[in-house]
């Protein structure tokens, strides 16, 4: 059933005139008359009795009109509610981010946002695994590293380099490496290594070099790696921003500062900005602004 036909019929009855309905709808009178006739044909029942000067509802027409008017009113109300939901910041925003982002005080950002937008509930999932935003129903994600999905809408927050760090207690006990090759003889805290080993590729005075390292700990959570290095477990290859932001039990000391590796970019991504709710848009813009502020302060 064509709801446009129903709406035209209701308008004709409300105005008690095909001519008046046609004028208000901006349609030819003949089109309005044909529309009502098609509705009657579809229903298989006469709704209106027409004369040259007046029109009267049949019993079936009266019953249909009353229910159709209520139904159309409900649809209009639903449309207004949907429009309000897309413009007034309220509802649920589902966000995923690496658990490592605690170093950027993500909890503080969420706290300030919810105070400013009390009608928005933030459903935040912190995880080290890769999340498929579309398949798992997430509105936004914070991604660290190289983006591989070209279908996502992304806003880059900034880029960072990784450097070599150790605790004073570790260096006092094991000595300070004097060259990149010396790392092979040291214990290293491996961030997402494999089987206690990893290949670290760094750029330095002699260009890019790769050194194979090993260590007692392999971990996929950055904050844990930072704490392990600070406690003297070994040398770590860590993001410079994270080492400046995170307070650890002991200071993290930069070693072999002439060596580093880049490519750690931070993005805020979403499946699409089309038909994005006001709540999602509000949180996305707030998150981007706050992360940019933090990043620029480093």
pLDDT per position as a tens digit, 250-282: 789 999 999 999 867 889 999 876 667 889 999
Calculate mean pLDDT across residues 99-127.
86
- The beta-strand segments (E) located in 178-233 are 187-191, 197-204, 207-219
Handedness of CA 134, 140, 145, 150 (dihedral sign): positive
Among the listed residues 193, 190, 262, 261, the one whose alpha carbon sits nearest the alpha carbon of residue 229: 190
Q: What is the CATH number of domain 161-262?
A: 3.40.190.290
Domains 91-159+265-296 and 161-262 belong to one CATH topology: yes
| Residue 120, strand partner residues | 91
- 55-104 residue pLDDT tens: 888 888 888 888 888 887 777 767 766 665 556 688 899 999 987 776 66
**Contacts (Cβ under 8 Å, ≥6 apart) of 250:** 167, 168, 169, 230, 231, 232
What does the pLDDT read at residue 195?
85
Q: Quick one: how far is CA 81 from the chain centroid?
A: 23
* Cβ 258 vs Cβ 177: under 8 Å: no
Q: Pairing mode, if any, of strands 187-191 and 252-255?
A: unpaired
Handedness of CA 25, 30, 35, 40 (dihedral sign): positive
Distances (CA, A) of 281 to 130, 174, 272: 23, 51, 11
- Top CATH class of 3-87 equals mainly alpha
236, two tokens: 């770590």
- 121-168 residue pLDDT tens: 999 998 878 888 888 889 999 988 777 777 788 898 888 889 999 999
Q: What is the CATH number of domain 91-159+265-296?
A: 3.40.190.10
What does the pLDDT read at residue 154?
86
What does the pLDDT read at residue 210?
94
d(CA 168, CA 268): 36
235, two tokens: 């040398």
pTM check: above 0.85 = no
Q: For 276, which DSSP code?
A: -
Residue 234: pLDDT over 90: yes
For residues 19 and 284, which has the higher predicted lDDT (pLDDT)?
A: 284
Calculate mean pLDDT across residues 20-46.
88
- 191-232 residue pLDDT tens: 888 888 999 999 999 899 999 999 999 998 888 899 999 999
Instruction: Spell out a b/e string for 50-74, using b for 16 or more CB atoms within 10 Å of the CB, else e.
Output: eeeeebebeeebeebbeebbeebee
Residue 298: pLDDT over 80: no
What does the pLDDT read at residue 274?
62
In the chain, how many H helices and how many E strands? 10, 12
Please report, for the chain, the start and end positions of each structural domain, with discontinuous segments joined by +: 3-87, 91-159+265-296, 161-262
């Amino acid at each position: 059933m064509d709801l446009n036909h129903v709406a035209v019929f209701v308008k004709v009855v409300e105005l008690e005139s095909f001519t008046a309905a046609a004028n208000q709808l901006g349609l030819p009178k003949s089109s309005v008359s044909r529309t009502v006739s098609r509705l009657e044909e579809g229903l298989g029942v006469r709704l209106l009795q027409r004369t040259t000067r007046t029109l009267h509802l049949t019993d079936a027409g009266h019953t249909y009109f009353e229910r159709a008017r209520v139904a159309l009113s409900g649809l209009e109300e639903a449309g207004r509610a949907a429009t309000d939901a897309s413009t007034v910041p309220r509802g649920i925003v589902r966000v995923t981010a690496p658990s490592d982002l605690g170093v950027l005080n993500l909890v503080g950002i969420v706290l300030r946002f919810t105070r400013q937008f009390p009608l928005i509930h933030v459903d935040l999932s912190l995880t080290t695994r890769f999340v498929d935003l579309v398949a798992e129903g997430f509105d936004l994600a914070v991604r660290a590293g190289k983006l591989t999905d070209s279908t996502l809408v992304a806003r880059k927050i900034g880029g960072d380099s990784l450097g070599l760090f150790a605790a004073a207690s570790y260096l006092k006990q094991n000595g300070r490496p004097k060259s990149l090759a010396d790392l092979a003889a040291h214990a290293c805290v491996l961030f997402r290594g494999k089987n206690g080993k990893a290949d670290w590729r760094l750029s330095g005075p002699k260009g890019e070099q790769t050194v194979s390292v090993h260590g007692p700990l392999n971990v996929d959570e950055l904050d844990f790696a930072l704490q392990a290095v600070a406690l003297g477990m070994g040398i770590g290859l860590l993001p410079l921003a994270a080492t400046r932001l995170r307070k650890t039990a002991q200071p993290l000391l930069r070693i072999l500062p002439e060596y580093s590796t880049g490519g750690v970019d931070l993005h805020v991504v979403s499946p699409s900005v089309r038909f994005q709710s006001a709540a999602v848009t509000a949180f996305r813009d707030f998150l981007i602004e706050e992360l940019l502020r933090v990043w620029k302060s480093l």
